[in-house]
């Protein structure tokens, strides 16, 4: 059972233990969660060259942070879930908000793919959408995991500007 009173920096959530598990000790969040999204982005980007990837794109389903770790082979999955629950509310809420936008974008791409008479004709458009919309949102999620939270979430068309500002 997970200790609801666990606090970052203490006990099982000590800085050294979190770092060893590849969990950010300041935020309690792990970038391993982004693998769930990076996989579908990669598949969408590969569609123009490999149309058979469409089946894999359509099999992707949204997973919450906790659900991802419950299903993953991450060696410290329970620690990741415990640390997530101990993470500051602002970070969890910001991450959840961005993840909702990523999920919506991928689900919309899947819907377009399912409805297309000729999925190959959509491949370039879906690959561009993955690169220009979904990938920048995944980068925003990564920034949140590393503790960079802007309390005013960027509008959808400002996602790339937000990414550029992080690396400026």
19-47 pLDDT tens trace: 999 999 999 999 999 999 999 999 999 99
Please report the pLDDT score of residue 160 as a whole number.
52
Confidence of residue 161 (pLDDT cuts 50, 70, 90): low
Tell me whether residue 49 is in a domain: yes
81 falls within a domain: no
In a domain? residue 83: no
* pLDDT one-digit tens code per residue, 60-93: 999 999 999 999 999 999 999 999 999 999 999 9
pLDDT range class, residue 116, cuts 50, 70, 90: confident
Determine, yes or no, domain membership for 157.
Answer: yes
Q: Domain total for the chain?
A: 1
Q: Is residue 109 part of a domain?
A: yes
Q: Does the residue 9 lie in any domain?
A: no
CB 160 within 8 A of CB 48: no
Alpha helices in the chain (DSSP H): 15-20, 35-46, 54-59, 65-71, 77-86, 89-115, 119-129, 135-145, 159-166
Residue 95 lies in a domain: yes
> Which residue range is the domain that position 116 belongs to?
31-63+88-166
- DSSP assignment letter at 131: I
Q: Is there a domain that residue 23 lies in?
A: no
Residue 155: pLDDT band (50, 70, 90) is low
Q: Which residues 6+ apart lie within 8 Å of 16 measured at CB?
A: none
């Amino acid at each position: 059972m997970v200790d609801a009173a666990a606090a970052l920096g203490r006990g099982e959530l000590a800085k050294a233990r979190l770092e060893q598990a590849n969990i950010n000790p300041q935020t309690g969040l792990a970038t391993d969660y982004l693998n769930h999204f990076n996989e579908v982005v990669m598949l969408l980007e590969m569609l123009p060259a490999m149309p058979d990837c469409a089946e894999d794109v359509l099999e992707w389903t949204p997973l919450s942070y906790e659900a991802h770790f419950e299903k993953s082979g991450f060696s410290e999955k329970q620690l990741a879930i415990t640390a997530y629950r101990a993470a500051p509310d602002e970070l969890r809420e910001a991450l959840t908000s961005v993840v909702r936008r990523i999920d919506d974008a991928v689900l919309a791409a899947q819907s377009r793919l399912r409805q297309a008479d000729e999925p190959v004709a959509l491949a370039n458009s879906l690959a561009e959408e993955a690169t220009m919309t979904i990938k920048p949102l995944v980068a925003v999620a990564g920034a949140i995991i590393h503790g960079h939270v802007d309390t005013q979430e960027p509008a959808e068309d400002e996602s790339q500007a937000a990414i550029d500002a992080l690396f400026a």
